[in-house]
């Protein structure tokens, strides 16, 4: 077994753009669920809005900043449309509506009648929308190696994308940390605990829930943009599995904590890569690489179950808080 | 202190002396006036109040057998439920169909029959959440602590004062969920006071509280009146009602069936009927229970109990 190669693969995952993208989406979900108690089962839908908004705007010649704004606005509108009917109702309605809306969004963008706009089933290939982002790259052309990690400076799965992706993660973490410690975050936390109590104290609960839904959706949209920039925009990559992974990451790291979503993303992708690489290097021939891939997902599912049973607060969560909830 | 309490209570008694002892009677200085309020659940009429006035600055007890519609009336008045018909005003402003948050902001704040402590927040954070006028509760402003730290310090000071008054100051850093039932009732009441209300509506503040802590709760409620607040509270136990209230409103099957001062209300035939219909074993008052010596003794017992509960980790 080639441990150097395996560990290199694993370490590479720790700063991959996709890991940053998942971290951003999980930070958004943390604003929803961890901070406010909103159960959003369609975070992939918000990522989809960000990805398609950005890609379509770019294809129409919009500069990067405007395209990013387009993705964010699309996600905000998505949030508001979902929020208006559901945020006045009991929590489970939001869960049902978000899962349905995310699926509707996915079916819509992949439908053949929208091929002229979204590329339909085939999606939007990388070369059609990456150009303007790559042109902003301040690094010289070519590629660069940091130890065993060699990537293009500016193109596709690049150092430039890593810098942008992880900078966004850092900014998001600082913002969420500030918000959690602020009176605004306190109102959200109160809503998470008992929204009628907060209402009885004169706070406009509906407005706060809407703010949280939009804000978390915006982080999701940014995650969606980073998620598609290494390769292409493809509707089916932005489906239920993605939402499920983001939830796993959040619960793994610890909901309602500042670093939980980031830590969860790092661990999830590093461990997945470790399992896949080890299985692939097994001397015996019982398992093909497709099977290895599938098996590693089975392990993720089992891990999630074990986690929820034995450490429901996640890695960084405070066990005392969960103990109280269980009364 | 004792003298001023007496004066205040006497003053209110004098104001209410000429109010007729009948349902819907007009008060000299009403803060809440309700008309034709009805609320139906399916075919069942939970609330059907023709006219009700609540005297400003007094402690009004709302009593009646289980299912009489007391909680539903509270929910309607505070915007937590919508009536099928009816109007009411608070301090002269029409409140019907106003959202619960707006009702609270207008100065009428409530507590719940089933206590709503925010379990996974500390006692102090619970209190701070009740405060008004915190600019940091705006999403963008909250990112600039200098814009809200000053107000936060004032809020914290107010919270600590109230916690000290309710003897919860030693618990300020504990999760609210770790408090005993009685302490949670106290916390909910203290939190409501953080909004600087003019009227507090307490739904069964004594339910599930051990008998001795009840005495200090009663003291707090009288304290609110002495500060000039209007108190409307729901209670089953006639001892408590007779001890602290200035006026009693009796509900049965959704209607107001009787009104009067606590000393005579239980002789009202409508009240006897209402209670006989529900629980005929209701002991209509034995005031020896409320002797000061007995109260002190009960309070000590309660404190000891609270301590041992806290130590057991409950
Ligand atoms: N949400 C509801 N749906 C249906 N019936 C209700 C609801 N809330 C209260 N009721 C009914 O209305 C009546 C009055 O209830 P409530 O106001 O809780 O009484 P009280 O507080 O005086 O004990 C009861 O018969 C109760 O079953
Ligand atoms: Mg009730």
Distance CA(B69)–CA(B81), nearest Å, equals: 12
Lowest mean pLDDT among A165-169, B4-8, B66-70, B141-145: B4-8
pTM (predicted TM-score): 0.91
**Chain B CB within 8 Å of residue A257 CB:** no
- Check residue B297 and give its pLDDT: 61
- Check residue A327 and give its pLDDT: 36
Quick one: B210 and B302 in the same domain? Answer: yes
- Check residue B237 and give its pLDDT: 75
Percent of chain B residues past pLDDT 70, beyond the cut: 86
CB-CB neighbors (< 8 A) of B119 in chain A: 193, 324-325, 327
- Check residue A325 and give its pLDDT: 52
- Check residue A174 and give its pLDDT: 98
- Check residue A86 and give its pLDDT: 94
Quick one: B108 and B58 in the same domain? Answer: yes
Quick one: B227 and B144 in the same domain? Answer: no
Task: Indicate if ligand 1 lies below 6 Å from the C-beta of B41.
Answer: yes
CATH number of the domain to which B305 belongs:
3.40.50.300
Quick one: B129 and B251 in the same domain? Answer: no
DSSP symbol at A316:
S
Using DSSP bridges, classify how beta strands B230-234 and B108-110 pair: parallel, antiparallel or unpaired.
unpaired
Where are the domains positioned within chain A?
3-133+152-310
Average confidence score pLDDT of chain B: 88
> For residue B83, how far is its CA from the centre of ligand 1 (angstroms)?
13
Quick one: B160 and B233 in the same domain? Answer: no
Say if CB B126 and CB B193 are below 8 A apart.
no
* Closest C-alpha among A33, A2, A85 to residue A280: A2
A197/B134 touch (CB, cutoff 8 Å), yes or no: no
Say if CB A164 and CB A138 are below 8 A apart.
no
3-state secondary structure of B312: coil
- Check residue A95 and give its pLDDT: 94
> What's the CATH number for A3-133+152-310?
1.10.3470
**Chain A CB within 8 Å of residue B178 CB:** yes
Percent of chain A residues past pLDDT 90, beyond the cut: 82
Quick one: B163 and B208 in the same domain? Answer: no
**Phi and psi torsions of B233, nearest 5°:** -135, 150
Number of domains making up chain B: 2
pLDDT tens column, B67-81: 999 999 999 999 999
- Check residue B5 and give its pLDDT: 54
Domain of residue B17 covers 3-115+198-311
In a domain, B186, yes or no: no
CB-CB neighbors (< 8 A) of A202 in chain B: 101-102, 104-105, 109, 132, 195
pLDDT band at A92; cut points 50, 70, 90 = confident
Average confidence score pLDDT of chain A: 93
**Phi and psi torsions of B258, nearest 5°:** -160, 155
- Check residue B288 and give its pLDDT: 44
Quick one: B9 and B137 in the same domain? Answer: no
Quick one: B96 and B216 in the same domain? Answer: yes
Asked if this assembly's ipTM is beyond 0.85, the reply is: yes
Residue nearest to atom 17 of ligand 1 (CA): B69
Task: Indicate if ligand 1 lies below 6 Å from the C-beta of B187.
Answer: no
- Check residue A307 and give its pLDDT: 83
Q: How many CA atoms lie within 13 A of B7 on its CB side?
A: 7
CB-CB neighbors (< 8 A) of B192 in chain A: 200-201
In what order do the strands lie in the sheet containing B255-260?
B108-110, B199-203, B230-234, B59-63, B247-252, B255-260
Residues contacting residue B129 through CB under 8 Å, at least 6 positions apart: A186, A187, A190, A198, A201, B118, B121, B191, B194
Task: Indicate if ligand 1 lies below 6 Å from the C-beta of B66.
Answer: yes
**Which among A175, A182, A199 has the least Cβ separation from residue B136?**
A182
> For residue B70, how far is its CA from the centre of ligand 1 (angstroms)?
8
pLDDT band at B3; cut points 50, 70, 90 = low
- Check residue A223 and give its pLDDT: 98
pLDDT tens column, A302-324: 888 888 888 888 989 887 776 66
Say if CB A233 and CB A74 are below 8 A apart.
no
**Phi and psi torsions of A162, nearest 5°:** -60, -45
Percent of chain A residues past pLDDT 70, beyond the cut: 98
In a domain, B152, yes or no: yes
> For residue B93, how far is its CA from the centre of ligand 2 (angstroms)?
26
pLDDT tens column, B153-173: 999 999 999 999 999 999 999
- Taking every pair of Cα atoms in chain B, the longest distance, rounded to a whole number of angstroms, is 63
Q: Dihedral angle at the C-alpha atoms of B162, B167, B170, B174, nearest 10 degrees?
A: -80
- Check residue A78 and give its pLDDT: 98
> For residue B188, how far is its CA from the centre of ligand 2 (angstroms)?
17
What is the DSSP track for A55-87? HHHHHTT--HHHHHHHHHHHHHHHHHHHHHHHT
pLDDT tens column, B15-25: 999 999 999 99
- Report, as an integer, the average pLDDT of A125-142: 95
3-state secondary structure of A140: coil
pLDDT tens column, A281-294: 877 677 787 888 88
**Chain B CB within 8 Å of residue A211 CB:** yes
Distance CA(B125)–CA(B128), nearest Å, equals: 5
pLDDT tens column, B241-299: 888 999 999 999 999 999 999 988 888 888 878 876 654 444 444 444 455 555 566 56
Alpha helices in chain B (DSSP H): 2-16, 70-77, 100-105, 123-130, 149-165, 181-193, 211-226, 238-244, 269-278, 292-311
Q: How many CA atoms lie within 13 A of B53 on its CB side?
A: 18
Quick one: B224 and B172 in the same domain? Answer: no
- Check residue B46 and give its pLDDT: 97
């Amino acid at each position: 077994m080639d441990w150097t190669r395996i560990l290199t693969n694993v370490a590479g995952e720790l700063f991959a753009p996709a890991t940053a993208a998942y971290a951003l989406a999980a930070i958004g979900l943390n604003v929803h669920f961890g901070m406010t108690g909103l159960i959003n089962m369609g975070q992939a839908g918000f990522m989809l809005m960000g990805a398609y908004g950005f890609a379509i705007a770019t294809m129409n010649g919009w500069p990067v900043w405007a395209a990013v704004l387009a993705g964010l606005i699309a996600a905000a509108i998505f949030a508001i449309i979902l929020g208006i009917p559901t945020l006045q109702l009991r929590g489970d309605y939001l869960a049902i509506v978000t899962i349905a809306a995310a699926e509707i969004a996915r079916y819509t963008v992949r439908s053949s009648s929208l091929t002229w706009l979204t590329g339909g089933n085939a999606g939007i290939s990388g070369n059609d929308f990456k150009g303007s982002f790559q042109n902003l790259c301040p690094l010289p052309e070519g590629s660069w190696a940091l130890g065993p990690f060699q990537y293009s400076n500016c193109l596709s799965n690049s150092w430039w994308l890593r810098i942008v992706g992880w900078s966004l993660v850092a900014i998001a973490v600082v913002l969420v940390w500030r918000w959690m410690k602020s009176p605004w975050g306190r109102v959200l936390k109160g809503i998470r605990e008992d929204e009628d109590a907060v209402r009885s104290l004169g706070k406009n609960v509906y407005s706060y829930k809407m703010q949280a839904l939009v804000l978390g959706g915006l982080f999701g949209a940014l995650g969606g943009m980073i998620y598609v920039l290494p390769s292409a925009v493809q509707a089916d990559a932005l489906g239920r599995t993605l939402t499920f992974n983001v939830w796993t990451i959040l619960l793994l790291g610890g909901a309602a904590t500042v670093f939980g979503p980031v830590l969860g993303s790092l661990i999830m992708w590093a461990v997945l890569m470790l399992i896949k690489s080890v299985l692939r290097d097994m001397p015996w021939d019982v398992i093909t690489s497709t099977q290895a891939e599938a098996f590693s997902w089975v392990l993720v599912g089992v891990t999630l179950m074990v986690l929820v049973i034995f450490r429901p607060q996640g890695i960084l969560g405070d066990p005392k808080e969960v103990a109280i909830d269980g009364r | 202190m004792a003298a001023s309490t007496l004066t205040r209570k006497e003053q209110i008694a004098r104001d209410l002396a000429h109010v007729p002892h009948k349902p819907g009677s007009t008060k000299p200085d009403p803060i809440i006036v309700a008309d034709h309020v009805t609320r139906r659940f399916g075919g069942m009429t939970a609330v059907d109040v023709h006219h009700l006035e609540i005297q400003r600055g007094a402690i009004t007890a709302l009593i009646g057998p289980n299912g009489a519609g007391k909680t539903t009336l509270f929910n309607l008045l505070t915007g937590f439920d919508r009536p099928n018909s009816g109007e009411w005003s608070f301090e002269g402003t029409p409140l019907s169909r106003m959202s619960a948050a707006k009702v609270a902001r207008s100065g009428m704040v409530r507590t719940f029959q089933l206590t709503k402590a925010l379990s996974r927040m500390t006692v102090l954070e619970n209190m701070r959440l009740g405060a008004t006028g915190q600019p940091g509760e705006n999403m963008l402003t909250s990112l600039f602590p200098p814009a809200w730290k000053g107000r936060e310090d004032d809020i914290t000071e107010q919270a600590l004062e109230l916690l000290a008054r309710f003897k919860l100051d030693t618990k300020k850093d504990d999760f609210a969920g770790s408090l005993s039932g009685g302490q949670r009732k106290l916390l909910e009441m203290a939190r409501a006071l953080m909004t600087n209300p003019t009227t507090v509506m307490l739904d069964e503040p004594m339910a599930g509280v051990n008998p001795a802590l009840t005495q200090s709760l009663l003291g707090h409620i009288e304290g609110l009146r002495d500060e000039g607040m209007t108190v409307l509270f729901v209670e089953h136990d006639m001892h408590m009602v007779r001890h602290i209230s200035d006026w009693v409103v009796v509900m049965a099957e959704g209607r107001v069936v009787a009104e009067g001062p606590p000393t005579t209300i239980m002789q009202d035939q409508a009240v006897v009927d209402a209670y006989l219909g529900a629980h005929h074993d209701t002991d209509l008052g034995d005031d020896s229970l409320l002797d000061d010596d007995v109260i002190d003794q009960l309070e000590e017992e309660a404190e000891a109990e609270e301590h041992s509960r806290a130590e057991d980790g409950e």
